[in-house]
Structure 1
Amino acid sequence: MVKSHGKKQRAKNKSRRTGAAYASAAAGTLHQHTPLPDMSAVEEISYLPDVFVDTGLAARLVAACRAGCQPCQRTLSKKVLAHEATLLGLASAIYGTMPAGAVASAATKAWAPLAQAATYDGGEAPEALEAFGALTADERSDLLEDALDHWAMGGLLPEGIDQIRSLLGLRVAPSQGPDDPLDAFREAGVKVFTLDDLDLGDVDAYHLAPNYGVMLAKTEADGRDMPMLTLYPETEDAGIEDLEARTDWEHWGLYGVPDLDPRWRLRARIADRSLQALVRVGPDGEDDIELWRAAETVTLPDHWWTLLDRVQHVLVAGPVKDAENPAALQAAGDAGELLAVVARVEFR
Structure 2
Amino acid sequence: MVKGHGKKQRAKQRAQRTGTGHASAAAGAAHEHNPLPDMDILTRLPHGAGRTLDLGLAARLVAACRAGCQPCQRSLARKLRTEQRPTLAVLAGAAYGTLPAPGPTPGLLASPATRAWAPLARAGKTGTEAAAAALAAVEAMSDDDASDLLEDTLDHWAAGGAGADEIADAIKTVMSPEAPPRQRPADPLDGLRAAGIEVFTLDDIDLPEGIDPYHLVPDYGVMLMKTDTPDGRPMPMLVLYPETEGAGIDDLEARTDWEHWGLHGMPDVDPRWRVRARIADRSLRGLVHTGPDGEDGIELWRAAETVSLAAETVSLPEHWWNLLDCVQHVLVAGPVDKPEDPGALAAAGDAGKLLAVVAPVSFV
Given the two structures, how large is their TM-score scaled by the length of structure 2?
Answer: 0.48
Q: In 1, distance between residues paired with 2:73 and 2:321?
A: 28
Unaligned 5+ runs, structure 2:
100-104, 187-248, 259-271, 284-316, 329-360
Identity fraction in percent: 46
Any idea what the Cα deviations from partners look like across 1:93-118, whole Å, max 9, x if unmatched? 21112452331111111211221122
SS at match of 2:46: coil
Any idea what the Cα deviations from partners look like across 1:228-274, whole Å, max 9, x if unmatched? xxxxx9336948x959x9xxxxxxxxxxxxxxxxxxxxxxxxxxxxx
Indicate the RMSD between aligned Cα atoms, in angstroms: 4.0
**Contact residue 97 and residue 123 of structure 2 kept, 8 A:** yes
1:21 aligns to 2:21 (yes or no): yes
For residues 86 and 5 of structure 1, do their structure 2 counterparts lie closer, same or farther at Cα, with a shift above 3 Å needed?
A: same
- Tell me by how many angstroms 1:23 deviates: 2.2
Pairing partner for 1:102 from 104, 108, 111:
108
SS at match of 1:206: strand
Q: In 2, distance between residues paired with 1:165 and 1:93?
A: 7
**Contact residue 41 and residue 159 of structure 1 kept, 8 A:** no
The residue aligned with 1:71 is 71
The residue aligned with 2:275 is 204
1:111 aligns to 2:122 (yes or no): no
SS at match of 2:52: coil
Q: In 2, distance between residues paired with 1:165 and 1:84?
A: 21
For residues 144 and 7 of structure 1, do their structure 2 counterparts lie closer, same or farther at Cα, with a shift above 3 Å needed?
A: same
**Contact residue 94 and residue 175 of structure 2 kept, 8 A:** no
Q: In 2, distance between residues paired with 1:196 and 1:97?
A: 17
Q: In 2, distance between residues paired with 1:203 and 1:47?
A: 37
Q: In 2, distance between residues paired with 1:165 and 1:76?
A: 25
Between the two structures, name the one with larger relative contact order (CA 8 Å, sep ≥ 6).
2
Q: In 2, distance between residues paired with 1:20 and 1:193?
A: 51
For residues 207 and 117 of structure 1, do their structure 2 counterparts lie closer, same or farther at Cα, with a shift above 3 Å needed?
A: farther
The residue aligned with 2:135 is 129
SS at match of 1:203: strand
**Contact residue 45 and residue 89 of structure 1 kept, 8 A:** yes
Q: In 2, distance between residues paired with 1:195 and 1:147?
A: 27
Superposition pairs of residues 196-345 of structure 1, within 5 angstroms: 203-206=274-277, 234-235=318-319, 238=322, 242=326, 290=363
Q: Which has the larger radius of gyration?
A: 1
- Tell me by how many angstroms 1:151 deviates: 0.9
For residues 165 and 143 of structure 1, do their structure 2 counterparts lie closer, same or farther at Cα, with a shift above 3 Å needed?
A: closer
For residues 235 and 48 of structure 1, do their structure 2 counterparts lie closer, same or farther at Cα, with a shift above 3 Å needed?
A: same
SS at match of 1:50: coil
Q: Give the aligned length.
A: 209
AA aligned opposite 2:109: V
Q: In 2, distance between residues paired with 1:55 and 1:47?
A: 14
AA aligned opposite 1:182: R
For residues 55 and 164 of structure 1, do their structure 2 counterparts lie closer, same or farther at Cα, with a shift above 3 Å needed?
A: closer
- Tell me by how many angstroms 1:163 deviates: 3.7
For residues 42 and 195 of structure 1, do their structure 2 counterparts lie closer, same or farther at Cα, with a shift above 3 Å needed?
A: same
Given the two structures, how large is their TM-score scaled by the length of structure 1?
Answer: 0.50
Q: In 1, distance between residues paired with 2:136 and 2:91?
A: 17
For residues 12 and 207 of structure 1, do their structure 2 counterparts lie closer, same or farther at Cα, with a shift above 3 Å needed?
A: farther
For residues 2 and 54 of structure 1, do their structure 2 counterparts lie closer, same or farther at Cα, with a shift above 3 Å needed?
A: same
**Contact residue 42 and residue 90 of structure 1 kept, 8 A:** yes
Any idea what the Cα deviations from partners look like across 1:265-312, whole Å, max 9, x if unmatched? xxxxxxxxxxxxxxxxxxxxxxx985xx8xxxxxxxxxxxxxxxxxxx
Q: In 1, distance between residues paired with 2:7 and 2:113?
A: 42
**Contact residue 94 and residue 171 of structure 2 kept, 8 A:** no
Q: In 1, distance between residues paired with 2:168 and 2:158?
A: 12
